[in-house]
Chains A and B, each alone.
Chain A
C-alpha cells in the first residue's frame, strides 16, 4: 500500500536560516509524483514544489528545493533563508502515475508545523 510519512510533528527555525522537513514514502509503483504543500492558518493549500519519480535532477522553486533520494524513498523539503511568513503547516504528498493524469489522487502525510522565530 502507498504511504507517506512525516516524522516531525513540529519544528522551530530561526529567521534567515535554512530548514529541512522530512518526508519518506512507500510505493511499489515505479511512476509517481511527490509534492509539497503549505497550509497557513487560513486553510488554503499552496503548491510549493513537485518531483517526478523519473526526474534526474532535484526540483527547485525559488527558496524551496526537494532533496529527492529515490533509493531511500525520501523527498525532504529544504527551505532556505526562512521568513516569518513561512510559518505554516507543511504537507508532503504523493500521487501515482503520470501518464496523462490517469491517477491523480493525492496521498498526504500527517504534516509538519513549522514555526519561524525572529
Chain B
C-alpha cells in the first residue's frame, strides 16, 4: 500500500486564491520531504526540500513567497500556492525519505492543480 499520501488528488481554483496541498508519510517519520512540479509531458523538476522544524530550501528560480512550504511535524509537509494564477497550473508531487538510505524514496500520488 501507499506509504506517502498526498491530498487532494486534484483541485480547481479561481485565479487569485490560495491552494494548500498536503503530503503525509503514513507509517514512518520523514524529516525530509521534497516537492516537485511536472508540466504536461515533461519531467519532474524539484521545487524545494522541506525540512522538519526548519525553513525549506528552494531551488533556483522558485519563488519562496509564492510556494509556501511548512513541515511542522515529522509526518506532514504542506505546499501552499499563494495567489494562484493560470501559469501555476501543473502537477505537483511530493516525496519522502524512509530511513537513511537513498533508495527508500517514496512518492505521493500527486496533485493536479488547475487555475482558472
A104 touches B (CB below 8 Å)? yes
Asked if residues B110 and A43 are in contact (CB atoms below 8 Å), the reply is yes
> A33-B103, A45-B107 known; A106 and B112 CB under 8 Å?
no
Task: Give A98 to B112 CA distance when docked, in angstroms.
Answer: 31
Asked if residues B34 and A98 are in contact (CB atoms below 8 Å), the reply is no
Task: Give A114 to B43 CA distance when docked, in angstroms.
Answer: 15
* Number of A residues, CB within 8 Å of B: 25
A74 touches B (CB below 8 Å)? no
Asked if residues A111 and B46 are in contact (CB atoms below 8 Å), the reply is no
Q: Give every chain A residue within 8 A of B105 (Cβ-Cβ).
A: 35, 47, 95, 104, 106
Task: Give A43 to B10 CA distance when docked, in angstroms.
Answer: 11
B44 → A minimal CB distance (Å): 5
Task: Give A110 to B109 CA distance when docked, in angstroms.
Answer: 19
B102 touches A (CB below 8 Å)? yes
B78 touches A (CB below 8 Å)? no
- Name which residue of chain A comes closest to B91, CB basis: A43
Beyond contacts A45-B95, A47-B107, A104-B105: 9 other A-B pairs, Cβ-Cβ < 8 A, are A47-B103, A47-B106, A50-B103, A101-B100, A101-B101, A104-B102, A105-B49, A106-B44, A109-B43
A34 → B minimal CB distance (Å): 10
Q: Give every chain B residue within 8 A of A100 (Cβ-Cβ).
A: 100
Encode contact with B along A36-70: 1 for CB under 8 Å, 0 otherwise. Answer: 01000011111100101000000000000000000
B81 touches A (CB below 8 Å)? no
Encode contact with B along A74-118: 1 for CB under 8 Å, 0 otherwise. Answer: 000000000000000001000101101100111111110000000
